[in-house]
Amino acid sequence: MKGRGYKATPQRVAILEALAAEQHQSLDEIHAKCPHVGLVTVYRTLDLFSEIGAVRRLDLGDGSRYELAEAHHHHLICDSCGSISEFEGCPIDPERLDVEGGFEVRSHSVEVYGNCAECL
Amino acid sequence: MKGRGYKATPQRVAILEALAAEQHQSLDEIHAKCPHVGLVTVYRTLDLFSEIGAVRRLDLGDGSRYELAEAHHHHLICDSCGSISEFEGCPIDPERLDVEGGFEVRSHSVEVYGNCAECL
DNA sequence: AGCATAGTGAAAAATATTTTCGACTGCGAA
DNA sequence: TTCGCAGTCGAAAATATTTTTCACTATGCT
């Protein structure tokens, strides 16, 4: 279940379950789902998960949020209610990126801002 | 020079000049270019400039950065040295975004991660 | 020039994040 | 089983970041 050499402690399992319950949560929201785990451990564990690629950290302007790294997708952020949703159809073709000057592309992210169906 | 009803104070001019000197600076970098301006004023003024659309706030994972809102462009972030550069050819066609479910698109941003020419 | 009010700065408060360090746990070796 | 250790934990402290408060100042209008 875990990558090489990492222990599956109860705390880590709890945090993984919290992450599985909902995408793009803030650290506080995750911690609220397993309050018996120390806050520092939540920070540490999310760092660890990010490093091994199990979790992606999002910086969408309202503090860090975390999501399980599943299928490639991007985010829709509602200007009025702040809700975050996902869309799968990736509009970027890495091969065709018009990036001059020897920059070697590894990955990308796209954020789309506007208004969600509820707010309209 | 200013929008409706905003006073052109020396502090605001100094911050604008600091912004003009270099794109995507952190708040500290901006403050360092005009140390006689109070830190709180830098925060407040950048908020104001963002609200009136003169400045864009960037959240690229290493804290907020600010840039003058000029031509539409996106960012290239180097994984190894962290440098930020820009590219103009926008790969997104807002008309053709495959965004389901009644989301009304207003704007978007794209970040491309990889390695810059120097680091290669 | 005089006034009303937006704007400013210093300090304090509120938040957020990272570091430190002593204690605990499970595992392999003796 | 007992020892020792590496990895992990959590509380508190240290740092960093952002917001609030409030008395004072300076700008823009008349």
Digits of tens for pLDDT over chain B (120 positions)? 566 789 999 999 999 999 999 999 999 999 999 999 999 999 999 999 999 999 999 999 888 999 999 999 999 999 989 999 999 889 988 777 867 778 999 999 999 999 999 998
pTM for the full predicted model = 0.91
Query: Is residue A111 left, alpha or beta, with left meaning phi > 0 and alpha meaning psi from -120 to 50?
Result: beta
Each residue of B74-87: pLDDT tens digit? 999 999 899 999 99
Angstrom distance (rounded) from CA A17 to CA A42: 12
> Is B109–A111 a contact, with Cβ atoms under 8 angstroms apart?
yes
Phi, psi of A107 (to 5 degrees): -155, 180
Query: Which of residues B18 and A101 earns the better pLDDT score?
Result: B18
CA of A5 to C1' of D4 (A): 20
Structural element, H or E, at residue B44? helix B39-51
- For residue A105, pLDDT over 60 is answered with yes
Nearest to B102 by CA among A87, A97, A25, A5: A87
From first CA to last CA, the distance across chain A in angstroms is 43
How far, in Å, CA of A22 to CA of A37, rounded?
A: 18
Set of chain A residues whose Cβ sits within 8 Å of the Cβ of B117: 101-103
Selecting from A98, A109, A114 the residue whose C-beta is nearest the C-beta of B106 gives: A114
DSSP one-letter code for B10: H
Q: Do B117 and A103 touch (CB under 8 A)?
A: yes
- What pLDDT does B97 receive? 81
pLDDT at residue A2 above 90? no
User: pLDDT (tens digit, 9 = 90+) per residue, A52-80?
Assistant: 999 999 999 888 999 999 999 999 999 98
Bases in strand D with any atom closer than 7 Å to a protein CB: 7-12, 17-21, 26-28
Contact partners, residue B62, CB within 8 Å, separation at least 6: B26, B82
B111 → closest Cβ in A102, A109, A112: A109
How many of the other CB atoms lie within 10 Å of CB of B21? Answer: 11
